[in-house]
């Protein structure tokens, strides 16, 4: 029973349902999925609270207005949805070092933490420059934008090469 | 206000699906990058194709207007490469990291802190990129059908066939 509950939903079905969800979201509220802008807006809101004078001088916050937005609620929703599903299917587990990492790269918490932090910093800087993260580029691809397909291709090609380097050429 | 509520609901449903399909997990994300497990690729491209069919049908019915997203080669090539590097180190994406945190992954939380740092850094140096990289190869909001000057269904149908064949191959070789 327990192992049955933890079985993953078929990725094609989950993908198709997510596609329908995007269509509904666009139809009902006009919003395509995307997550990276939420990070900028949340940082902007924080800077606005700490030092409004300084925040006002940062040009990027004029382009991406730091206000409570659809996208901020969307990423909080993802957190809640993930948590609810994990609870309902008894999948919730605190974990710092993923299995694949541990069996290949060891159990140093510091190493995993540093890679996660630096990786997150570089990844977010990159998606801001590229104009969208994978969920945003999914929306861009749905619109058949050249940019969406090109960005996805580059994400995967560079990611595949870089992952080889992280894993010293392959998985044990 | 209603708009915010729609965002929350869409996020909860999407987060639920992401968790149930396990696509938010580090092992699945790196599994794809190490060419061992294509679960996230199956998920993403099925969502894109279903979404494209729906959005272009609605546009055909006159229920919405489609415009492409900006294509700036400098930004996409440099930014996309940086994302690829960061993604291989973190193993979560900006959206999926929140659901990973939702199922208790602490490295996803560290990644989220890193992503806030990256967003703050980008905001600081944005004027430099605006003058340089983001002016290189700006083609505007262009879609593939625009670029080729053809009906979008001549793009959607062949992509569906191509992606289906790739999926069949994935299943055949057990990826």
Q: Which of A81, A138, A156 sits opposite B16 (nearest CB)?
A: A81
Domain range list for chain A: 1-94, 96-172
Alpha-carbon gap: A1 to the closest alpha carbon of chain B (Å): 16
* Chain B residues touching A16 at Cβ < 8 A: 46-47, 50
> What local confidence, expressed as pLDDT, does residue A89 receive?
95
ipTM above 0.90, yes or no: yes
| B152 at interface of A, judged by CB pairs closer than 8 A | yes
Closest CA to B59 of A143, A22, A28, A17: A143
Give the integer Cα–Cα distance in Å for A129 and A151: 11
Q: What is the pLDDT of residues A109-163, one digit of tens each?
A: 999 999 999 999 999 999 999 999 999 999 999 999 999 999 999 999 999 999 9
Please name the residue that has the structure tokens 């000057």: B149
Q: Is the pLDDT of residue A165 over 90?
A: yes
CB-based contacts of B59-65 (< 8 A; 24+ apart in sequence):
B63/A27, B64/A26, B64/A27, B64/A30
Convert the pLDDT of each residue in B40-78 to its tens digit: 999 999 999 999 999 999 999 999 999 999 999 999 999
CA-CA distance, A142 to B32, in Å (whole number)?
21
Residue appearing with tokens 């909860």: B12
Whether the per-residue pLDDT at A2 is higher than 60: the answer is no
Q: What is the pLDDT of residue A1?
A: 42
pLDDT-derived band at A82 (thresholds 50, 70, 90) equals very high
B140 to chain A, any CB pair closer than 8 A? The answer is no
Which regions of chain B are under pLDDT 70? none
Residue A5 — pLDDT band, cuts 50, 70, 90?
A: low
Do A58 and B16 count as a contact with CB atoms less than 8 A apart?
no
Using the structure block, give the residue that is written with the tokens 């919730």: A92
Task: Kindly tell me the sign of the dihedral angle through the C-alpha atoms of B156, B159, B165, B169.
Answer: negative
Q: How many angstroms separate the CA atoms of A41 and B122, rounded?
A: 12
Averaged confidence pLDDT in chain B: 97
Closest Cβ–Cβ partner in B64, B78, B118 for A120: B118
Q: Which residue has the tokens 């998985």?
A: A171
pLDDT for residue A171:
80
């Amino acid at each position: 029973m327990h192992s049955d509950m933890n079985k993953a939903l078929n990725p094609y079905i989950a993908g198709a349902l997510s596609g329908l969800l995007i269509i509904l979201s666009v139809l009902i509220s006009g919003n395509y999925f995307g997550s990276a802008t939420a990070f900028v807006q949340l940082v902007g809101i924080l800077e606005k609270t700490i030092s409004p004078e300084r925040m006002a001088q940062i040009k990027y916050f004029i382009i991406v207005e730091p206000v409570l937005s659809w996208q901020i609620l969307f990423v909080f929703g993802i957190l809640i949805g993930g948590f609810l599903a994990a609870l309902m299917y008894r999948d919730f587990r605190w974990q710092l070092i993923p299995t694949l990492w541990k069996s290949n790269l060891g159990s140093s918490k510091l190493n995993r933490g540093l890679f996660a932090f630096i990786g997150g910093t570089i990844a977010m800087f990159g998606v801001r420059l590229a104009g969208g993260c994978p969920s945003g580029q999914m929306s861009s691809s749905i619109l058949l934008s050249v940019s969406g397909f090109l960005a996805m291709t580059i994400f995967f090609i560079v990611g595949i090469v870089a992952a080889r380097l992280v894993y010293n050429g392959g998985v044990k | 206000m209603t708009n915010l509520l729609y965002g929350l609901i869409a996020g909860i449903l999407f987060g639920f699906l992401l968790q149930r399909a396990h696509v938010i997990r580090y092992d699945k994300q790196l599994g794809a990058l190490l060419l061992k497990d294509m679960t996230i690729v199956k998920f993403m491209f099925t969502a894109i194709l279903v979404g494209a069919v729906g959005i272009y049908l609605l546009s055909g019915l006159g229920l919405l207007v489609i415009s492409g997203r900006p294509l700036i080669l400098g930004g996409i090539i440099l930014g996309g490469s940086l994302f690829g590097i960061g993604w291989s180190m973190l193993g979560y994406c900006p959206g999926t990291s929140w659901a990973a945190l939702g199922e208790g992954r602490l490295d996803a939380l560290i990644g989220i802190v890193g992503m806030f740092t990256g967003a703050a850094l980008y905001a600081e140096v944005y004027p430099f990129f605006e003058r340089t990289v983001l002016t290189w190869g700006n083609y505007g909001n262009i879609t593939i059908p625009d670029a080729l000057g053809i009906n979008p269904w001549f793009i959607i149908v062949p992509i569906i066939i191509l992606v289906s064949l790739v999926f069949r191959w994935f299943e055949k070789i057990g990826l």
